[in-house]
Amino acid sequence: MSAANERQAVDPLVKMRTNNLGIDKNIGMRLPKTLPFCAKAALHVIRSKRQLTVDAQYVLFLIPAVLTRSSQGCPMIDTSGHHIVYGVLQDYLTGVVLPDTDDERIRQGLARLLVEQLGYSKDELEPRLTISSCFNNNRVQTLIELTARINGRRLFILRYGPGSLVTRETAAVAAARILDPEYRIPLAIVTNGRDAELLETARGKVLAGGMDCIPDRNQAGALLQEYAFEPFTDPGRRDKALRILNVFDQEVCCAGTSCAQDPHK
């Protein structure tokens, strides 16, 4: 079997794509469904004493780990949807068991940051609050990753999303305005895990940037006295905020996949 034929035999099934390191690290996540064929193809090359391609070598390297994980009864990695699910993890704040995804790991890191470095108590952080909206039969559930409640008042929300922060500002401000039925939460934070922006929600203005803009517990106490907790009860303005969330927070990429069942969506 030539190297070209070998690649044609293995690649279509595992959808291998090589990066600048010569291998796609996610190939291992796809092996459970295609392992028998991949192993057979690679072993055929060994028996014929021909040189293995990098991808075929990687297949063989992963076989023991995959078989060991399966024999130990560990859940196999689910790649049927848009987000890779590695298994489950325990929520840092509540202990609730959640799907273990790349995004969830970042969310857990943010919770740890607020408690272990910024001085908040776990009781002051409300995880996974949601806002539901439905327009034109399009139902969307907006996730608020964290909400800081200081002395009984919700001071800010923190929303996480990968990529650009600018595209998430409008939805974050809209969510902070209507999450609490009694008042507009005065501050909102958007972050991608590496950068962040702090916004005031009366006008939607960016106050500061960088991960350092997330206020620590002492700063939060001062901000609590600085900002007013004004009612946001006008039906027209609330409806507009809901419509914003209905558009901005729709996960089109996950429609019809297992990700649609994710409680974070």
**pLDDT tens-digit readout, 2-55:** 444 444 444 433 333 333 333 344 444 444 444 444 455 555 544 555 554 544
Q: Report the pLDDT value the prediction gives residue 41, as an integer from 0 to 100.
A: 53
Residue 189 has pLDDT above 80, yes or no: yes
pTM of the model: 0.68
What mean pLDDT, rounded, does the chain reach? 78
How confident is residue 251, by pLDDT bands cut at 50, 70 and 90?
Answer: confident
Rounded percentage of the chain residues whose pLDDT exceeds 70: 63
**Around Cβ 173, how many Cβ atoms within 10 Å?**
24
Kindly provide the b/e burial profile for residues 110-142, where b requires at least 16 CB atoms within 10 angstroms of the residue's own CB.
bbebbbeebebeeebbbbbbebebeeeeeebbb
What does the pLDDT average to over 84-91? Answer: 94
Decide: 100 and 88 in contact? Cβ < 8 Å. Answer: yes
Q: Is the pLDDT of residue 138 over 80?
A: yes
Q: Which of 39-43, 114-118, 141-145 has the lowest mean pLDDT?
A: 39-43
- What's the mean pLDDT in 224-245? 96
| DSSP strands (E only) in 56-184 | 87-90, 97-100, 125-135, 138-150, 153-160
Is the per-residue pLDDT at 212 higher than 80?
A: yes
Listed in sequence order, the DSSP H helices in 72-159 are: 102-112
Amino acid code (one letter) for 166: V
Phi, psi of 60 (to 5 degrees): -65, -40
Closest CA to 210 of 223, 197, 192: 197
Is the pLDDT score of 255 beyond 80?
no
Angle at CA 49, nearest 5°, toward 45 and 52? 50
- Domains defined for the chain, CATH in brackets: 3-71 (no CATH), 87-261 (3.90.1570.30)
Nearest one of 166, 204, 168 to 185, comparing CA atoms: 204
Dihedral pair phi/psi, residue 233, rounded to 5°? -110, -5
Whole-number pLDDT of residue 22? 38
Evaluate if residue 216 carries a pLDDT over 60: yes
